[in-house]
Structure 1
Amino acid sequence: MNLKEQLQEIIDNSSKFNISPILIEKAVSPVFVKFAKPLHNVYYVWQTKGDGEEKEKFVITVLENRVNPKLTKKVIYAFPSMAIAGNFLEVDPHTVDIVEIPVTHLFFHTFGTPPEKLNSIIFVKKIGNNLKFHEVNCDEINKAVQEKIKKLKPLLETFDPNTRLV
């Protein structure tokens, strides 16, 4: 699924999240495209296994600063393949699933998460035999969307939320 198709799926399902399709189309989508451009369209992430009562959740890894271990960062790792995600796994594989997720859907699921719960998504790239890491700060995405909303606020207030803008 390319970025346009991914975003259209989010727009089409916006009512499930009580978000206006116009807001997603005009404020969220452009920001997600900007952050997704240098990335793959699809990633593999670790997710806890739900037990019926508890919903599945992305596995959050807490990274400590080597110099000052009190400085921590909460991240989600996103991998370009299931094999790399499996090789990178340092938890009991019986408690975690590796799930495929479109990059914009990963942004959407983490959008609005407060920094005390999640700081970044670390996208892993394989270049030859080496792994490279690309960090996307969740707060930067949130701030960019808020800026878009501020700029669009007068326009958004004049339209019926069910009207689609082209």
Structure 2
Amino acid sequence: MSNVAITVNGTLHTKEVEDRTLLVQFLRDHLGLTGTHVGCDTTQCGACTVIVDGKAVKSCTILAASIEGASVSTVEGLADGEKLHDVQAAFHEHHGLQCGFCTPGMIMASVNMIERHDGVLDEATVRHELEGNLCRCTGYHNIIKAVLSAAEKHRTAHAVAAE
């Protein structure tokens, strides 16, 4: 057993966990944050994608103890009260989900992608960067539209702020 201290969505959590506890288990079982989904347990589907210290990662293959002291963002930490994050709002507006199983991982990967590219994205880049996140329902068309819409909003907001 190890004591692990990880900041999740801005709150420091210190828990005693088995050394083999995966980050996805830490989030779901120890913190009750069930928005991060367990899909394949082999990093193939991306349903468990979260952001660790600014990088999108698949939490099903990372030991919680290995990220001691890290900062983790999950889908639960995106909204500001009732106000959805721009990516969440774009997924809703553009119907970028059907069953919703892949949605948290897609959203987290998209948030990270938009941040890394400062909102400057094209369809080819979005498709390439989401290759590691599987959706079995939508065929990606509406997901791509949602990401591009959120990226445009991000780019516009940052341009206005720079003026």
Please give the TM-score of this superposition, normalised by the length of structure 2.
0.29
Q: Which has the higher strand share?
A: 1
Larger radius of gyration: 1
